[in-house]
Chain A
Amino acid sequence: MSTDATPAPGGAPAGPAGGGGATVGARLTETLREGGPLVPVITVLLAFLAGGVVVALTGHDPLATYKAVFEGSGLNWLLPWVTGEDRDVAATNLQQTLIITAPLILVSLAVGYAFRAGLFNIGGTGQYIAGSVIAVWIGSTMAGLPGWLHIVLAMVGATLAGAVWGGISGGLRATTGANEVITTIMLNYIARWVAIFLFGLGGPLQNSAQPDVPVSNDVVNDAKLPVFWGDPELQGLHIGIFVALAAAVVYWVLLNRSKKGFEARAVGFNPEAARYSGIAVGKTYFLVMATCGALAGLAGSLDVLGWQFRIATNDVQATELGFLGIAVALLGRNRAFGTCVAALLFGALLSGTSVRNLDPSVFPPELAQNLTRIIQGLVVLIVSADVLIAMVFKRVRRRREGAPVGAAPAEVTV
């Protein structure tokens, strides 16, 4: 009477209570709801294992390759026995890793917050580009402003631009019911081609000094983010990582302690019950997507003001940050801390397999970059099949616990 023992034992379908989401986002939210850090860790190990098999198939040594990737990421700086020149190299590499990690945290939070509200934000890329464009526009004009004001202005502008870009999808979902998966993908294309138009040859924001190069003007020196670790001339680590970590804290508070986050979670779990209890579901969709866009837009400003200082049309074409964010958010289970850790992992992978960092004698860097992609793809695949892992787990555990007890009936037989 006190507790009902019947609900869904062993993942058995014990009724409609699960409210199996109708949208991809809702279903993924449900999948990601439970479980501690164990499943993500296993997911990563499996992905690395499969990646290792690929390396072995190309005739190289997987262990040596992973060791080289590890060292290339600079994470060996954390090991106390790495000293002398090795330590200096490691420090430089780690700075590069963290430079990538910062925007990755932000775009991943942009995916994660949407997931929590039952939405699937594939538009991280477009929102990031929207932010970058505004950041480079503000950063490269208005010379003479005090540096801090210029930086804040560029960041706020980028954040707002991202919010608008994300908000469009949320607003369309709220008013017309248009699926955010479709609209965010479309808005990615629009952002990309608008940026290419702006910075392309003859474009309105193309570099005024180099009419032959499809690139933006440079961010003025005062608007560049200060470097606090390493040589500013050699792309040392800028303060963007702190901005990203602060955003992760804000994300946690927003999700778990704010009215808007409460509404977002309620809508994510059960939009119908949320509506019945007076939460404006459409408005929540809009606000959530705008918030996601804001995070991704801010990410764009970190890259522009932190190390790129200009946008070339081929950068715009090549950016994959938004998609990487999906893998990171999935791995980090849409939680603030988990996302930071997962972003560091992918930041390290990207940096460790880059042409500059990886020793070509161990593994050709051109192939190594594909290794990152393989692992990224596998993570998405495995996390999406996370139900599968959970199921396997349960079965194994049940078999282990069940076997001795299962033998019991003989004694009970009448």
Chain B
Amino acid sequence: MATDTPSAGEAAELALELRGITKIYGSLAANDAVDFDLRKGEIHALLGENGAGKSTLMNVVYGMARPDAGEIRIFGEPATIRSPRDAMAHGIGMVFQHFMLIPVMTVAENLVLGVSVGMQQRIEILRALDRGAGIIVLDEPTAVLTPQEAAELEGVLRRLRDEGTAIVFITHKLHEVLEVADRVTVLRRGKSVGTVPTEGASEASLARLMVGRDVVLQIDKPAAKPGPVALEVQDLHVFDDRHLEAVKGISLEVRRGEIVAIAGVDGNGQAELIDAITGLRHPESGHVVVDGRDITGCNPREARDAGVCHIAQDRHRRGLVLDFTIAENLALRDYGEGAKMGLLSPGRMLAKAKQLIEQFDIRGGTPDTPARSLSGGNQQKCVVAREIAGDPNVMIAAQPTRGLDVGAIEFVHRRLLAERDGGKAVLLFSLELEEVRALADRILVIYEGRIVAELPPTATDEQLGLLMTGGSAEAPAP
């Protein structure tokens, strides 16, 4: 726990200094006497699991939450920050996890703009700089970026740092901390457990600080025992919302007992392919066959009845009804079971919720707690629990660990592997190459609506990256 306290000489160079910040919500101390300091010309990572208090701490800095105790100093001066406006006046700019720029517009406007997520982020950063921000706080900026976009962002941040900007980089991705940050402060359950320079730190050492125990970053995966084909996609053509062909003749097979990963840069037809398989979108032509049954063009409920479950990409927008309770969310697919004369069976729903909460280790609430108040990891556990509980034969998992912390990622990965070993066919869509390689038995690369290559999980980043961006498939084999 090597806390490196700045000496008196350095103190003048501090851009932001937090002392004893405490913020209590109800009975929970989201921040418990947290100290944090940020030097000029430094990228300082704030690392912690979901719910560790990272966002709360930065909300305090940005005036969106008032601390119950503690002191904030900006460029050496004590500051009281009551609102984001105050924060801006003090030269603090914040780029939010789910950016504030675009969501105020409608989806349609978003489509018209066609602005990529990476571009939005750069606009946000520019906006912050334009307001004279000397301190920039980025809340999980890479959660929704492709590897390439993330690399670009890191380049931008380094340049800003070299020009003297002080940057706080909130994340729960260990490799990013090591790549981009100069120092890292680790939060665990609202408390700071230490600030260390990234030089000399390793992913394993950071993970231990973050979780408080040793974490298995790479799960041991027994060899797959593929059985008969469970999901078969034949020459599928699917149009997107703008009536452009997004899936251009994809054929693939997933056998029971194997995980097939679709790797690709976002927007290459993955969403439309998922929609067509799960009944959310009618394909133009082609077939979707589940266990020998043609389910092409069925509706989502029929797809589910045929044994297809779907961990949706965006748990807030699609996976969960945030205002429903945990029990209601867990029943979202099978609320009709046990219903008599159209009336629900609250007893059955409650019993099932209790069982799944226990089985999937969903923490932070009872069956009656609104899903909104759960942490991201526990929300995703709800989605995974609900989908797995339906005992599907085919699992479609779309970015199942997006925005999750290492502990939760480990959990989701283990569940997916357990499903595979239980004889389920798993089709995984992921932008994270690490995840693809860790889980997949076979990797299919999707580019512009076509499957351009099939690779074993031993494929390198370079091979995958090249194929994902439309490069030649004749990359040298390892």
CB of A277 within 8 A of CB of B332, answer yes
B264 at the interface (CB under 8 A from A): no
Inter-chain contacts of A253 with B (CB < 8 A): 343
CB of B30 within 8 A of CB of A5, answer yes
Q: How far is the CA of A262 from the CA of B333 in the complex (A)?
A: 11
B323 at the interface (CB under 8 A from A): yes
Q: How far is the CA of A408 from the CA of B66 in the complex (A)?
A: 12
CB of B319 within 8 A of CB of A273, answer yes
Question: Which one of A14-22, A139-147, A222-230, A365-373 is at the interface?
Answer: A14-22
Inter-chain contacts of B339 with A (CB < 8 A): 259
Inter-chain contacts of B336 with A (CB < 8 A): 259
Q: How far is the CA of A328 from the CA of B318 in the complex (A)?
A: 33
Instruction: Pick from B59, B304, B363, B377: contact of A278, CB below 8 A.
Output: B304
CB of B363 within 8 A of CB of A1, answer yes
Within the complex, the shortest CB–CB distance from A414 to chain B, in Å, comes to 5
Within the complex, the shortest CB–CB distance from B342 to chain A, in Å, comes to 5
Q: How far is the CA of A369 from the CA of B368 in the complex (A)?
A: 45
Within the complex, the shortest CB–CB distance from A13 to chain B, in Å, comes to 7
Within the complex, the shortest CB–CB distance from A396 to chain B, in Å, comes to 14
CB of A272 within 8 A of CB of B363, answer no
Given the known inter-chain contacts A265-B324, A270-B317, A398-B66, please indicate yes or no for A257 contacting B346, CB distance below 8 A: yes
Instruction: Pick from B19, B97, B301, B332: contact of A273, CB below 8 A.
Output: B332
A276 at the interface (CB under 8 A from B): yes
Interface size on A, residues (CB 8 A): 47
Q: How far is the CA of A276 from the CA of B333 in the complex (A)?
A: 9
Inter-chain contacts of B300 with A (CB < 8 A): 275-278
Inter-chain contacts of A405 with B (CB < 8 A): 68-69
A67 at the interface (CB under 8 A from B): no
B441 at the interface (CB under 8 A from A): no
Q: How far is the CA of A37 from the CA of B226 in the complex (A)?
A: 59
Q: Quick one: closest A residue to B314, CB to CB?
A: A272
CB of B71 within 8 A of CB of A15, answer no
CB of A3 within 8 A of CB of B375, answer yes
Residue-by-residue, is B351-384 near A (CB-CB < 8 Å gives 1, otherwise 0)?
0000000000001110000001111111000000
Instruction: Pick from B189, B316, B335, B343: contact of A19, CB below 8 A.
Output: B316
Q: How far is the CA of A405 from the CA of B323 in the complex (A)?
A: 32
Q: How far is the CA of A34 from the CA of B413 in the complex (A)?
A: 36
Instruction: Pick from B98, B319, B332, B346: contact of A266, CB below 8 A.
Output: B332
Q: Quick one: closest A residue to B317, CB to CB?
A: A272
Instruction: Pick from A2, A14, A258: contact of B59, CB below 8 A.
Output: A14
Q: How far is the CA of A84 from the CA of B363 in the complex (A)?
A: 63
Q: Quick one: closest B residue to A33, CB to CB?
A: B323
Given the known inter-chain contacts A5-B56, A6-B56, A408-B69, please indicate yes or no for A12 contacting B64, CB distance below 8 A: yes
CB of B363 within 8 A of CB of A412, answer no
Inter-chain contacts of A257 with B (CB < 8 A): 343-344, 346
CB of B51 within 8 A of CB of A17, answer no
CB of B364 within 8 A of CB of A19, answer no
- Interface residues, chain A, with chain B CB atoms under 8 Å away: 1-7, 9-10, 12-17, 19-20, 22, 33, 253, 257-260, 262, 265-266, 269-270, 272-280, 398, 402, 405-406, 408-409, 412-414
Instruction: Pick 14 A–B contacts, CB within 8 A, sort by A.
Output: A1-B50, A1-B377, A4-B50, A253-B343, A257-B346, A259-B343, A272-B317, A273-B312, A276-B318, A280-B301, A402-B66, A406-B66, A409-B71, A413-B19
Q: Which 9 A-B pairs have the closest CB atoms?
A: A4-B375, A5-B30, A278-B301, A3-B364, A4-B51, A6-B55, A12-B64, A277-B332, A412-B20
- Interface residues, chain B, with chain A CB atoms under 8 Å away: 19-20, 23, 25, 28, 30, 49-53, 55-56, 59, 64-66, 68-71, 78, 96-98, 100, 103, 106, 188-190, 280, 299-301, 304, 310, 312, 316-324, 328, 332-333, 335-336, 339, 342-344, 346, 363-365, 372-378, 407
